[in-house]
């Protein structure tokens, strides 16, 4: 197999993002880093160490649409004439990046208000969305790929597999011959991936159950005969099955902590977050903590151990509060299609007695 070279671009909060250079024909980049002077300089330096320039790139494939994975696509294409290949979902997002980002921003404000984040905290964190706007850019996809398609890249054939959860556009790029996969943020060695809740629509009393979808995607990945996973951040993953088991155990522990917090009384998601993280983290990352708490509440709702109630407070969507499900209380509908007593959190779907 042709060589694969790791290039790291700086990124606030999580230090760096991995850009993967596939040294074969066509010369390929998997992910690009953010649109920033520092990101561009890091990419140029990494290519330079291989005796290459941006102008030499033939093909760019993003693993998903997030700014740190697609931000420099338009810049690279303008300088090199490279083609862009992407999963259909990422292609659609890239073509309408500005509009989609603004829709996500609007939805996220409503989501936070609905789940207890004070408006003053939301206003104080608008810089999160400004950063996304400033470090990303729309991109055009030349080769739109469907789930399961194969593309020649960097002297090998890569099969693209949809793995939604962390984002709606996540995909694996799998070299089946070498049992190697480029996985973006689907599975990271050092930290558990978050799962965004950002449909391009305003809330209507329901929400995308991203964490349920994500854990199902992890199960699919764990069943694959892979030797090495090259991720979007941090170290290479060499035992993906063991890491997936560890991530499931972490989810079970987080769910238990949320249940313990709810024993003190009904609470909204932002209030629960205050039991899990420092006051500074909760104040400075309100959307991320709401995503994290809601995603685990969806797991608990799915197995029937908590209930969600909407209270009219005069706002557009009211306020949502959660509490342990009482014996005999009618269980909410199960969108995952599992029967009573089952849980995606456990192997085989069954919660231990």
For the chain, domain boundaries: 4-100+129-239, 245-329
Q: What does each C-alpha distance from 128 to 18, 46, 157, 179 come to in angstroms?
A: 21, 28, 37, 37
Give 15's pLDDT tier (boundaries 50, 70, 90): confident
- The predicted structure's pLDDT at residue 159: 98
| Mean per-residue pLDDT, 48-69 | 96
Give 319's pLDDT tier (boundaries 50, 70, 90): confident
* pLDDT one-digit tens code per residue, 270-315: 999 999 999 999 999 999 999 999 999 999 998 889 998 988 776 6
pLDDT of 338 strictly over 50 = no
Measured between alpha carbons, how far is 145 from 82 in angstroms, rounded to an integer?
16
| Mean per-residue pLDDT, 38-54 | 97
DSSP labels, 63-94: SSSSHHHHTTHHHHHHHH--EEEEEHHHHHHH
The CATH code belonging to domain 245-329 is 1.10.10.10
- The predicted structure's pLDDT at residue 337: 39
Give 14's pLDDT tier (boundaries 50, 70, 90): confident
Beta carbons within 10 angstroms of residue 342's beta carbon: 18
329 vs 154, which has greater pLDDT? Answer: 154
| Mean per-residue pLDDT, 22-32 | 97
Mean of pLDDT over the chain:
89
- The predicted structure's pLDDT at residue 328: 57
Q: Do domains 4-100+129-239 and 245-329 have the same CATH topology?
A: no
| Fold category of 4-100+129-239 in CATH | Metallo-beta-lactamase; Chain A (3.60.15)
User: What is the b/e burial string over 128-149, where b = at least 16 CB atoms within 10 angstroms of the residue's CB?
Assistant: ebeebeebbbbbebeebbeeee
Give 201's pLDDT tier (boundaries 50, 70, 90): very low
- The predicted structure's pLDDT at residue 342: 53
| Mean per-residue pLDDT, 17-28 | 97
Query: Tokens representing 58?
Result: 């033939």
């Amino acid at each position: 197999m042709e060589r694969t070279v790791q290039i790291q671009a700086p990124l606030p909060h999580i230090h760096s993002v991995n850009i993967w250079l596939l040294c074969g024909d066509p010369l390929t980049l998997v992910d690009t880093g953010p649109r920033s002077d520092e990101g561009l300089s890091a990419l140029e330096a990494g290519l330079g160490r291989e005796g290459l320039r941006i102008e030499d790139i033939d093909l760019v494939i993003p693993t998903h649409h997030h700014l740190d994975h697609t931000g420099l696509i338009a810049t690279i294409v303008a300088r090199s004439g490279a083609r862009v290949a992407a999963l259909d979902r990422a292609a659609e997002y890239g073509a309408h990046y500005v509009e989609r980002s603004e829709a996500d921003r609007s939805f996220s404000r409503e989501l936070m208000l609905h789940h207890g984040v004070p408006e003053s905290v939301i206003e104080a964190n608008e810089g999160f969305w400004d950063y996304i706007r400033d470090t990303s850019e729309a991109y055009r996809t030349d080769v739109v790929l469907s789930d399961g398609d194969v593309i020649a890249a960097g002297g090998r054939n890569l099969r693209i597999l949809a793995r939604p959860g962390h984002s709606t556009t996540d995909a694996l790029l799998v070299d089946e011959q070498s049992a190697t996969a480029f996985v973006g943020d689907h599975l990271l060695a050092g930290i558990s991936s978050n799962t965004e809740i950002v449909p391009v629509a305003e809330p209507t009393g329901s929400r995308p159950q991203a964490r349920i979808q994500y854990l199902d995607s992890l199960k699919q990945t764990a069943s694959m005969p892979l030797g090495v996973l090259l991720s979007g951040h941090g170290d290479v993953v060499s035992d993906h099955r063991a890491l997936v088991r560890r991530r499931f155990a972490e989810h079970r522990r987080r769910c238990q902590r949320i249940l313990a917090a709810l024993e003190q009384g009904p609470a909204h998601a932002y209030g629960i977050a205050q039991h899990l993280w420092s006051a500074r983290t909760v104040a400075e990352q309100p959307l991320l903590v709401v995503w994290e708490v809601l995603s685990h509440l969806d797991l608990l709702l799915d197995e029937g151990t908590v209930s969600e109630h909407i209270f009219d407070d005069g706002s557009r969507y009211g306020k949502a509060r959660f509490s342990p499900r009482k014996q005999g209380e009618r269980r909410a509908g199960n969108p995952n299609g599992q029967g009573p007593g089952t849980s995606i959190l456990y192997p085989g779907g069954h919660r231990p007695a």
